[in-house]
């Protein structure tokens, strides 16, 4: 039982990827700039957005994180198609 | 290269069509229909693939004096690709390259990132590989367009 990769899948995935990338950049920046309050505020806002975006994506297409960082339906969804390099 | 990818996409679509026709099983039909839908999406993506930037290759030999050193990327405000002429000796076994390039990314000149730099919007940052325009360095192949 595999997922159909339609336009909505890719648009939602790109939204999640964009927010995640910005969070990675801000994390690395804040490691060397711990007193930048504006960056910390932006980081927290993006973290909230990422949480919402990831919940919306996972409710449609299954878990995105392993080892209990995402929930799974019955039957076990983590091993279902498509795998990341097939997307 | 686009014709090759179109051929591959068409062969994938034809293989998917053959799979649908050959095995009329319930689960296989659903799987093959998903594959056909995915093949159409792949064809759409291949036809809409963006063209790479040709300007650095076109401007390779032009050394406009905006900075005093020769760069190969003058239409772009980056000026990160530098051009130099290596020494050519008389005993080369093969025809020598007369112009060679190297890249100086901006992080070599900014030892400590200042606070409050302007940022790209989120989706553009994903495509450019960095959140700050001051730290952007493009990534182009020297050999393929």
Say whether both B24 and B71 belong to one domain.
no
Which pLDDT value is given to residue B142?
73
Rg, C-alpha atoms of chain B: 24
* Among candidate residues B137, B143, B10, the one with its CA nearest the CA of residue B77: B137
CA distances from B30 to A4, A41, A63, B26, B71 (A): 10, 47, 22, 7, 55
Question: A9 φ, ψ to 5°?
Answer: -60, -50
Among chain B residues, the shortest Cα distance to A2 is held by B31
Q: Are residues B96 and B132 in the same domain?
A: yes
Verify that B31 and B76 share a domain, yes or no: no
pLDDT at A32: 95
Q: Could you tell me if B89 and B134 lie in one domain?
A: yes
Arithmetic mean of pLDDT over chain A: 94
Q: Does A22 touch chain B (CB under 8 A)?
A: yes
- In a shared domain, residues B102 and B71: yes
Are B39 and B57 members of one domain? no
Dihedral sign, Cα of residue A46, residue A49, residue A51, residue A57:
negative
The predicted structure's pLDDT at residue B1: 47
Contacts of A12 in chain B (CB under 8 A): none
What's the gap between Cα B60 and its chain centre? 17
Alpha carbon distance A72, A60 (integer Å): 11
Print the domain residue range for B135. Answer: 52-145
pLDDT at A10: 95
Q: B90 and B27 share a domain?
A: no
Please list the pLDDT of chain B residue by residue as tens digits (145 residues).
Answer: 444 445 554 554 455 455 445 544 555 555 556 566 666 665 555 555 454 444 544 444 444 333 445 554 443 456 688 889 999 999 999 999 999 888 888 888 888 999 999 999 999 999 999 999 999 988 777 777 6
Same domain for B79 and B95? yes
Which value does ipTM take for this structure? 0.84
Q: How many CB pairs under 8 A join A and B?
A: 46
B92 lies in the same domain as B40: no
Q: pLDDT tens for residues A30-57?
A: 999 999 999 999 999 999 999 999 999 9
Interface test with A, best of B25, B38, B120, B135 (most A CBs within 10 A): B38
Residues B13, B61 within the same domain: no
Number of domains forming the structure of chain B: 2
Q: Are A81 and A87 in contact (CB under 8 A)?
A: no
- Cβ atoms of residues A5 and A87 within 8 Å: yes
* Domain identity same for B73 and B41: no
Same domain for B38 and B61, yes or no, is no
């Amino acid at each position: 039982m595999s997922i159909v990769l339609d336009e909505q899948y890719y648009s939602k995935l790109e939204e999640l990827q964009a927010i995640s990338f910005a969070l990675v950049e801000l994390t690395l920046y804040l490691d060397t700039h711990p007193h930048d309050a504006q960056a910390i505020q932006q980081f927290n806002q993006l973290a909230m957005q990422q949480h919402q975006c990831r919940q919306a994506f996972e409710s449609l297409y299954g878990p995105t994180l392993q080892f209990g960082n995402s929930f799974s339906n019955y039957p076990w969804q983590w091993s279902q198609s498509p795998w990341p390099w097939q997307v | 290269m686009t014709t090759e990818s179109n051929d591959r996409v068409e062969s994938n679509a034809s293989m998917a069509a053959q799979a649908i026709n050959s095995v009329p099983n319930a689960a296989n039909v659903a799987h093959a229909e998903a594959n056909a839908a995915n093949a159409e999406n792949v064809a759409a993506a291949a036809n809409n693939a963006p063209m790479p930037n040709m300007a650095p290759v076109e401007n390779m030999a032009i050394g406009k004096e905006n900075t005093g050193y020769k760069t190969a990327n003058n239409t772009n405000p980056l000026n990160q690709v530098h051009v130099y002429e290596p020494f050519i000796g008389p005993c080369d076994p093969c025809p020598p390259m007369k112009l060679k390039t190297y890249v100086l990314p901006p992080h070599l000149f900014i030892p400590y990132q200042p606070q409050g730099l302007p940022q790209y919007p989120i989706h553009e940052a994903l495509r450019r590989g960095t959140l700050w325009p001051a730290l952007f360095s493009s990534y182009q192949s020297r050999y393929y367009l």
